Structure 1
Amino acid sequence: MPAGNDQLISLSWQQVPGTDGASIYPIVRKIDTISSNSYLIATPDAIILIDPGGLPDQAEQLASVIGEIRQEQDRPVIVFLTHAHIDHFAGSQDVPAFAHPETVIFAAHETGAGILGRGDCGFTQADLLGQKVVPMKIGFPLLTADRSGRPGVPVDLRLANGARVAVTDDRIGTGGVVLPRERIVFGPGPALEILHTPGHSPDSICLRVGGLLFIGDILFAANPGVAGMRGWDQAALIRSLDGILAFLSGGGVSYLCPGHGRVIPVDDAVRVLSAVRTDALALANIAELNCDRAVQAAAFAEDCMEQVNELFTVMAGRLSYVSYVMEELGESDVAGRMESLINRDTIDELLKAFSDFAEEHYRRNRVPIHLALKAAQVIMKLERSFRKDELSRIIDPTLVQRAGRLLSGYTTMMRGFSPPGELSECDIIALVEALVTGLSVSSCSDEEVFDSADDDAAFAQILLARIGTRPLLEDVAFSMEPMQGPLMASIDRDHFTDVLRYIFEELVGTGADRVMMKIQRDSQNSILTISGNTTLLPLAEQQKTFRFLQGLCHRAGGSLEYKGETETRQFVITIGLA
Structure 2
Amino acid sequence: MHAGDTKLAHGSWQPLPGIPGATIYPYIRKIDTVSSNSYIIRSGDLVAVIDPGGLSGQADELCAIIKALPEGTAQAVIVLLTHAHIDHCRVLTDHPFFSNPDHALIAVQEDGARALAETDSRLTQAALMGLTLEPVTAAFRLFAGPGTEGDGRAEILMGSSGPELRLSTDYMESGDCTQMAVQILQTDRSCPIMVYHTPGHSPDSICIRIGSLLFIGDLMFAASPGIAGISGWDREALIRSIDEILALLREGGITHCCPGHGNILTCAEAIRVLEGVKKDAGALDGIGELDEARAKETAMYAEGLMDEVSEIFTIISARLLFVSHVLDELEEAGEAGNVASLIDADRIDALLADFQQFLSAYRAGSNRDIHLALKAGQVVAKLDRMFDAGQLELVLDPAYVRRAGRLLCDYSTVLRGFCQPRMLQDVEVGPLVADLIGQLKQGSASYEDLLDLSDDPTAFARALVKRIARVPVFDDVTCSCLPSSFGRPVQADSAILSDIVRTLLEDITGSGAGNISVEVSGSDCVVSVIVEVNAPGRMPEFRNVRKRFLADECIRGGGQIVWPQDTGSRSVRIDLPVAGKGT
Equivalent residue letter for 2:143? L
The Cα offsets for residues 75-129 of structure 1, whole Å up to 9 and x where unpaired, read as: 5421111001000000232112223324421111111111111100011111110
Post-superposition CA distance 1:219-258 (Å, at most 9, x none): 1111111111111111111111111111100111111100
1:11 Cα deviation (Å)? 2.2
Shift in CA distance, 256/566, structure 1 to aligned 2, threshold 3 Å: same
User: Which position in structure 1 is the counterpart of 2:145?
Assistant: 145
CA contact (8 A) 2:45 2:74 kept: no
Amino acid at match of 2:155: L
Query: CA 1:179/1:499 → structure 2, altered by over 3 Å: closer, same or farther?
Result: farther
Alignment of 1:77-88 (within 5 A): 77-88=77-88
- Per the alignment, residue 235 of structure 1 pairs with 236
Secondary structure of the structure 2 residue equivalent to 1:187: coil
Residue identity opposite 1:305 in structure 2: M
Counterpart of 1:350 in 2: which secondary structure? helix
Alignment correspondent of 2:105: 105
Shift of 1:364: 4.3
Residue 157 of structure 1 aligns with which residue? Answer: 155
CA shift, 1:508, in A, is 0.4
User: Which moves more between the two structures, 351-360 or 447-456?
Assistant: 447-456
Alignment check: 8 A CA contact 1:536 1:565 kept: no
Distance 1:233 1:296 in 2: 22
Contact map agreement 2:92 2:136 (CA 8 A) in 1: no
Aligned to 1:312: 313
> 2:562 is matched with which residue?
561
Helix, strand or coil: the match of 1:505? helix
Code of the aligned partner of 1:334: E
Measure how far apart 1:406 and its partner are: 1.2
- Say which is worse superposed, 34-43 or 59-68, in terms of deviation: 59-68
- Comparing 338-347 and 313-322, the one that deviates more: 313-322
Matches within 5 A, 1:180-259: 180-259=181-260
Quote the residue 1:373 is aligned against.
Answer: 374
Aligned AA (1:158): I
TM-score by structure 2 length?
Answer: 0.93
The answer for the alignment partner of 2:285 in structure 1 is: 284
1:340-379 pair list within 5 angstroms: 340-379=341-380
Partner of 1:14 in structure 2?
Answer: 14
- For 1:355, the aligned partner's letter is Q
Query: More deviation in 157-166 or 423-432?
Result: 157-166
Aligned residues: 574
| TM-score normalised by L of structure 1 | 0.94
* AA matched with 2:572: F
Residues of 1 paired with 2:173 and 2:41: CA distance? 25
1:516 is paired with a residue of what secondary structure? strand
Q: CA 1:316/1:247 → structure 2, altered by over 3 Å: closer, same or farther? A: same
The question of whether the paired residues in 1 share the 8 Å contact of 2:319 and 2:469 is answered with: yes
Determine if the alignment matches structure 1 residue 512 to structure 2 residue 510.
Answer: no
Structure 1, unmatched stretches of 5+, are none
2:165–2:185 contact (8 Å) kept in structure 1 = no
Deviations 1:104-157 (A, max 9, x none): 211111111111111000111111101001121111011121289999xx8452
- Report the more deviating stretch, 171-180 or 195-204: 171-180
State the distance in 2 between where 1:237 and 1:336 align: 47
Give yes or no for contact 1:294–1:369 (8 Å, CA) kept in 2: yes
CA pair 557-172 structure 1, distance change in 2 beyond 3 A: farther
TM-superposed CA distance for 1:483, in Å, is: 2.1
In the other structure, the counterpart of 2:33 is 33
444-453 vs 175-184, greater mean Cα deviation: 444-453
Amino acid at match of 2:302: A
1:2 deviates by 8.9
Compute the displacement of 1:68 (Å). Answer: 3.0
Distance 1:124 1:156, change over 3 A: closer
Deviations 1:145-196 (A, max 9, x none): 1289999xx8452357563314123143212565432233322432111111
Stretches of structure 2 that go unaligned for 5 or more consecutive residues are none
1:313-462 equivalent positions in 2, closer than 5 A:
313-444=314-445, 449=450, 452-462=453-463
Q: CA deviation at 1:5?
A: 7.5
Distance 2:329 2:103 in 1: 77
Deviates more, 1:182-191 or 1:344-353: 182-191
> Residue deviations 1:422-448, cap 9 Å, x none?
222221111111111111122435675
Q: Which amino acid aligns with 2:318?
A: G
Matches of 2:292 and 2:46, distance apart in 1: 40
| Alpha-carbon distance change, 100 to 315 in structure 1, aligned in 2, over 3 angstroms | closer
Equivalent in the alignment of 1:94: 94
Letter of the structure 1 residue corresponding to residue 475 of structure 2: E
Distance between the aligned counterparts of 1:139 and 1:186, measured in 2?
15
| Distance change (3 Å), C-alpha of 1:224 and 1:41 | same
The question of whether the paired residues in 2 share the 8 Å contact of 1:319 and 1:339 is answered with: yes
Does the CA contact (< 8 Å) of 1:429 and 1:487 recur in 2?
A: no
Aligned to 1:544: 545
Match of 1:52 in 2: 52
Between the aligned partners of 2:110 and 2:286, the Cα distance in structure 1 is 27
Q: Distance in 2 between matches of 1:149 and 1:121?
A: 25
Q: How many angstroms apart in 1 are the aligned matches of 2:407 and 2:502? A: 14
Question: Is the contact made by 1:477 and 1:515 (CA closer than 8 Å) also made in structure 2?
Answer: yes
Shift of 1:416: 0.4
